[in-house]
């Protein structure tokens, strides 16, 4: 199997080996130690400001997006949502479900957020921003520093969904003054899906601790209290948390966050060079490192996905909704190398020879 999707992605052999072990009981000092080490490395890689906390949620990252909306905002807020694709739209839906007053900056697919566009909302009493730093559906990377400046100027609580950009694109929580960062186990962390991580700065911790949340499972104050001793309120995905520990140490050994970001960036650059002479167009104005969305000029995108899967056993990532037939995505995250890119390009060339592109 050769998997170029954006999650789940290819795991290293070491991480896979941990997945084959028996899952231990978890209310132990040994497991607490694993959890606290996970927290320490995540905070380091996010460059979270001093006294920030991380909680490990057993849910996919949409669960964490929902938990953050529920724990950080109320009907007294006025939130700005950047909606440039399906993940931005998910935040819009979450605000609707939880009755959080909000306005939307709607961007076309592939369009970046400019300073001019953002500053149309300057001085208008917004209290929060929800943004997916890499809008994975279109591969657009938003400028976390530029948005951070806007938030600082307006006293806005700044929530960054970095689910696919954490460890793929440079992100400095302290420098861009983000209050919350969300990521998940099955993207650049290259582990099985099932765990999502929420990083909270001291300002976010204060907000969460004082929140009145109508939920037991998504009560982040309770998660924070348990995490003080390296534990979770309920049984977590123990096996995946142990795999995350292995993976974080693997990243540390290879040079830390910057080295992993550089590796993903090169994996993306190599692919973008190699695909140049094939009949595809790039669609993103400000491409993120983690994924390249491509638009086939002559062929249905979903048919290419199906043919690659069934004939070559190569998985690229189909798009959903109204992008299904026009765009597919090639991921650059997880355990992939430049030879794997060549294998994919050769398959596409073969399809071209067979008259399928």
Ligand X SMILES: *Cc1c(COP(=O)(O)O)cnc(C)c1O
Q: Where do contacts with ligand X occur on this chain (CB under 6 A)?
A: 7, 60-62, 87, 132, 134, 136, 161, 163-164, 184
- Measured from the CB atom, the residue of 43 and 68 that comes closer to ligand X is 68
Say whether the peptide bond before residue 8 is cis (omega within 30 degrees of 0): yes
Name the token pair of 71: 């724990």
- Measured from the CB atom, the residue of 60 and 352 that comes closer to ligand X is 60
**Closest by CA position to 165, among listed 194, 193, 143:** 143
Q: Residue 178 Cβ, how far from ligand X at the closest point, in Å?
A: 14
- Terminus-to-terminus CA distance in the chain, angstroms? 22
Q: Residue 105 Cβ, how far from ligand X at the closest point, in Å?
A: 16
- Measured from the CB atom, the residue of 187 and 351 that comes closer to ligand X is 187
Q: Residue 289 Cβ, how far from ligand X at the closest point, in Å?
A: 13
Q: Residue 282 Cβ, how far from ligand X at the closest point, in Å?
A: 19
DSSP state of 120: G
Q: Residue 7 Cβ, how far from ligand X at the closest point, in Å?
A: 5
- Measured from the CB atom, the residue of 164 and 226 that comes closer to ligand X is 164
Rounded Cα–Cα distance for residues 110 and 87 (Å): 13
- Measured from the CB atom, the residue of 94 and 348 that comes closer to ligand X is 94
Name the token pair of 348: 């596409």
Rounded Cα–Cα distance for residues 116 and 242 (Å): 45
- Measured from the CB atom, the residue of 18 and 131 that comes closer to ligand X is 131
Task: Please work out, in degrees rounded to the nearest 5, the angle formed at the alpha carbon of residue 44 by the alpha carbons of 43 and 48.
Answer: 55
What number of CA atoms fall less than 13 Å from residue 208's CA on the CB side? Answer: 27
Q: Residue 253 Cβ, how far from ligand X at the closest point, in Å?
A: 26
The burial class, CB within 10 Å (0-12 / 13-18 / 19+), for 80 is: buried
Rounded Cα–Cα distance for residues 230 and 13 (Å): 27
């Amino acid at each position: 199997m050769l998997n170029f999707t954006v999650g789940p992605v290819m795991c290293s052999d070491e991480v896979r080996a941990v997945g084959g072990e028996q899952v231990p009981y978890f209310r132990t000092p040994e497991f607490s130690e694993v959890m606290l080490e996970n927290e320490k490395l995540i905070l380091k890689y996010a460059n979270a400001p001093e006294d920030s906390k991380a909680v490990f949620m057993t849910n996919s990252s949409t669960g964490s997006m929902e938990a953050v909306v529920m724990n950080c905002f109320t009907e007294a807020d006025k939130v700005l949502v950047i909606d440039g694709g399906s993940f931005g739209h998910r935040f819009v839906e979450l605000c609707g479900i939880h009755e959080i007053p909000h306005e939307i900056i709607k961007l076309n697919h592939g369009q970046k957020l400019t300073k001019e566009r953002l500053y149309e909302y300057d001085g208008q009493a917004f209290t929060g921003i929800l943004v997916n730093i890499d809008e994975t559906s279109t591969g657009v990377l938003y400028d976390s520093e530029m948005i951070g400046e806007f938030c600082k100027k307006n006293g806005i609580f700044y929530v960054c969904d970095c689910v696919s950009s954490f460890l793929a694109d440079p992100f400095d929580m302290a420098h861009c003054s983000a209050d919350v960062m969300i990521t998940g186990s099955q993207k650049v962390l290259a582990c099985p899906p099932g765990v999502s991580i929420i990083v909270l700065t001291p300002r976010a911790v204060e907000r969460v601790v004082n929140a009145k949340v109508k939920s037991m499972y998504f009560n982040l104050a309770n998660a924070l209290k348990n995490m003080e001793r390296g534990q979770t309120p309920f049984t977590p995905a123990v096996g995946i948390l142990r795999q995350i520990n292995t993976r974080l140490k693997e990243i540390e050994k290879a040079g830390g966050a910057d080295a992993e970001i550089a590796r993903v960036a090169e994996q993306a650059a190599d692919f973008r060079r190699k695909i140049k002479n094939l009949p595809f167009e790039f669609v993103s104005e400000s491409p993120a490192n983690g994924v390249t969305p491509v638009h086939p000029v002559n062929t249905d995108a979903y048919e290419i996905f199906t043919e690659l899967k069934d004939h070559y056993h190569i998985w690229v990532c189909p798009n959903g909704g109204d992008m299904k037939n026009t765009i597919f995505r090639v991921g650059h995250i997880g355990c992939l190398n430049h030879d794997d890119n060549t294998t994919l390009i050769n398959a596409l060339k073969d399809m071209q020879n067979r008259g399928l592109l």
